[in-house]
Structure 1
Amino acid sequence: MSDLGDYYRKRAGEYDAVYEKPERQEDLARLRALLPPLVSGRSVLEVAAGTGYWTKALATTARSVVATDLNDETLAVARTRTYGPAEVRFQTADAYDLGAVEGRFDAIFAGFFWSHVLRADVRRFADGLLNRVEPGGVVILADNRYVEGSNYPITRTAATGDTYQNRQLADGRAFEVLKNFPTREQFTADVAPREVEWTELAYFWLATVC
């Protein structure tokens, strides 16, 4: 995760540019509308919160949000946003070590991070989320679907099935980034025997796991 963390650390200042793509605006609006009812009145642990783009949507209805990220640089951007009415606090935390985050949570949200999990680590990551949510709670995940021309092209597929993209920052620095695009069937198998509800949009998917 160190290479991926380094990429997002250096990308902090231009992190939200991906949300400006014109063709994705309708889907983004739908996601912003779908999320608040799922966390209404709940104590939310947000994993890989980045710059707080999705924290804003969660905070409109949640009781509280603890927004975590590996990078202080992205959380520094998140702290500049206005949230509410939920109580929002930020904490640096590893997505694979959520036991280090204090509190009890009846909702966990991980936005656009599942795609950065190696296939070999998917079960471990999923178990880490499910182990932190209180009985009767919900784990919520959202991520990208692969759409030719809107996503970075897939430049390499490993023997494990993991797929990679080449990305370049505004200053010219280049990175190879893990980016997987699971189908509904694959995701459901990865979290079995848990119950999954799946919403598929043109550019994104949203799943709840109970």
Structure 2
Amino acid sequence: MSDLADYYRDRATEYDAVYDKPERQEDLARLRALLPPLVAGRSVLEIAAGTGYWTTALSASAQSVLATDVNDETLAVARTRSYGPGEVRFHVADAYDLGAVPGRFDAIFAGFFWSHVPRADVRRFARALIDRVEPGGVVIFADNRYVEGSNHPITRTMPDGDTYQTRRLSDGRTFEVLKNFPSAEQFAADVAPGEVSWAELIYFWLATIS
């Protein structure tokens, strides 16, 4: 995952351009409306918070949000945003090492990170999040669906099902980035025996595990 971390670190100042795509605006508004009721009054641990785009939606109703990311460069952008009324704190942390994150949480949100987890690791990753949330809590995922013409083309597919895209930064450098697009059935199998609620939009999906 080090190459992925390098890519998002170097993309920090231009990352939010992905939210400007005209065709995705209605779906983005729907996602931002769906999230606050799920975390209302809860203490939220946000995984791979990046530049804080989704942290703003979480903080609208959560009691508190601890926004974590492996890159302080992206969190530096996140710190410039306005949040609230929920308390928002930031912490550099590896999504694969949640035991090192302080605090107790009754909601965990991982936005647009599931697609970057290798197929061989998804069950272990999901279990780590489910084990970290307090009893009666909820684990929430949101991510992309593959839509031809809106997503970067898939440039490589591995025998285990992992798919990759080639991404280009504004300075011309290119990165090969793992980006998987699970179906509802595949996701449910990966997180079993957790009880899954799945909402499918045109460009995105939202799932909760309880």
In the superposition, the TM-score normalised over structure 1's length comes to 1.00
Indicate the residue corresponding to 2:153 in structure 1: 153
1:93 and 2:58 aligned:
no
Aligned residue-pair number = 210
AA aligned opposite 2:45: L
- Tell me, in whole angstroms, the C-alpha distance in 2 between the residues paired with 1:126 and 1:94: 14
1:190 and 2:206 aligned:
no
AA aligned opposite 1:178: L
Indicate the residue corresponding to 1:140 in structure 2: 140
- Tell me, in whole angstroms, the C-alpha distance in 2 between the residues paired with 1:123 and 1:100: 20
Indicate the residue corresponding to 1:109 in structure 2: 109
User: Secondary structure of 1:176's partner?
Assistant: strand
1:82 and 2:82 aligned:
yes
User: Secondary structure of 1:75's partner?
Assistant: helix
- Tell me, in whole angstroms, the C-alpha distance in 2 between the residues paired with 1:82 and 1:132: 28
Runs of 4+ in 1 over 3 A off after TM superposition: none
Deviations 1:125-182 (A, max 9, x none): 1011111100000000000000000000000001111000001000100000000000
Indicate the residue corresponding to 1:44 in structure 2: 44
Indicate the residue corresponding to 2:119 in structure 1: 119
Indicate the residue corresponding to 1:25 in structure 2: 25
User: Secondary structure of 1:30's partner?
Assistant: helix
Percent of residue pairs identical: 80
Deviations 1:84-122 (A, max 9, x none): 000100000000001111100000000000000000000
Indicate the residue corresponding to 2:170 in structure 1: 170
Indicate the residue corresponding to 2:199 in structure 1: 199
- Tell me, in whole angstroms, the C-alpha distance in 2 between the residues paired with 1:134 and 1:165: 36
Deviations 1:29-53 (A, max 9, x none): 0000000000000000000000000
- Tell me, in whole angstroms, the C-alpha distance in 1 between the residues paired with 2:150 and 2:179: 14
Provide the aligned C-alpha RMSD in A.
Answer: 0.3
Long gaps (5+) in structure 1: none
